[in-house]
Structure 1
């Protein structure tokens, strides 16, 4: 089975940053309903001394995740070369909105880090624009982190290479076929 690359989704979202997110005017947030889904992702990261919401010891190395908030992007720290033997999903903050199903179309802020080197390879938080897609239209480990959650949830996943990009990896993002991937995400909306 060929896995679908997640990294291609943000290309369209990045175009939105260049055309629609350059204003520093905060008046739009004042007129938006408090229940409306956010239309941007926070770009500020917490201090490196912020206590982790999730610490996972891998089969090799370990990692720590500080959950994203409405005002801060997540912070993912990799200690040593990090690998997992099975994909693990952790709900950092439960959501209270609509259920995310395989048939949903979601809007998500996320950051992806390579366990091999601890580097971010893709991030809607860095661009400031959420990505929208079907949970079945991304790599299977990312889909596992979405399906069964509720809108508003903050989730992290450490996925095996098989649940990431598989044996061929994703050379354009410097992801090898043996790399464990870590994502931290905020589910903004689902329909």
Structure 2
């Protein structure tokens, strides 16, 4: 995570709303970028917690590839343990429950050179997520 980040996409809506992303006319950074869109007041997410989130994922400047809002159900998974892509482990640990966080994740912290072809993600694609942190359990 760096200061002086290049322009990031903007996200519509507030916590719990399916966002719409608007991308700047600049290339994505090759560094992880984390922007807290709205800070919650809940517990701090720690490595090893099970975290419950809603999320929206889109390729930088491209199409949406997955989101939990359309399904109407959040997901729960271990965080900070390598169970999910590195950008989620690095970007969500230390956030507060109730926060809406924007993550811009370069390929090396996403799906790597292989990408995820079944989701339409190439090996050089930067991934952008809006994540609403609903809860955490230890």
Question: Which TM-score band (shorter chain)?
Answer: 0.7 to 0.9
Q: Which residue of 2 aligns with 1:127?
A: 71
Find out whether 1:148 has 2:94 as its counterpart.
yes
> What do the CA deviations read for 1:162-184 (whole angstroms, capped 9, x no partner)?
01101110111111110000000
Contact map agreement 1:108 1:187 (CA 8 A) in 2 = yes
Between the two proteins, the alignment pairs up a number of residues equal to 131
Find out whether 1:95 has 2:13 as its counterpart.
no
Once the two structures are superposed, the pairs formed by residues 40-189 of structure 1 within 5 Å of their partners are 57=7, 63-70=9-16, 72-80=17-25, 82-117=27-62, 119-135=63-79, 136=81, 137-189=83-135
Q: CA deviation at 1:92?
A: 1.1
- In structure 1, runs of 5+ residues without a counterpart are 1-54
> What do the CA deviations read for 1:6-58 (whole angstroms, capped 9, x no partner)?
xxxxxxxxxxxxxxxxxxxxxxxxxxxxxxxxxxxxxxxxxxxxxxxxx952x
Q: Which residue of 2 aligns with 1:22?
A: none
Q: Normalising by the residue count of structure 2, what TM-score does the alignment of the two structures yield?
A: 0.86
Contact map agreement 2:6 2:29 (CA 8 A) in 1 = no
Contact map agreement 1:68 1:184 (CA 8 A) in 2 = no
- Structure scoring higher RCO (CA < 8 A, sep ≥ 6) equals 2
Structure 2 CA distance for aligned equivalents of residues 144 and 67 of structure 1 = 24
Q: CA deviation at 1:69?
A: 2.2
Contact map agreement 1:56 1:63 (CA 8 A) in 2 = no
Contact map agreement 1:103 1:134 (CA 8 A) in 2 = yes
- In structure 2, runs of 5+ residues without a counterpart are none
Please state which structure has a larger fraction of its residues in helix.
1
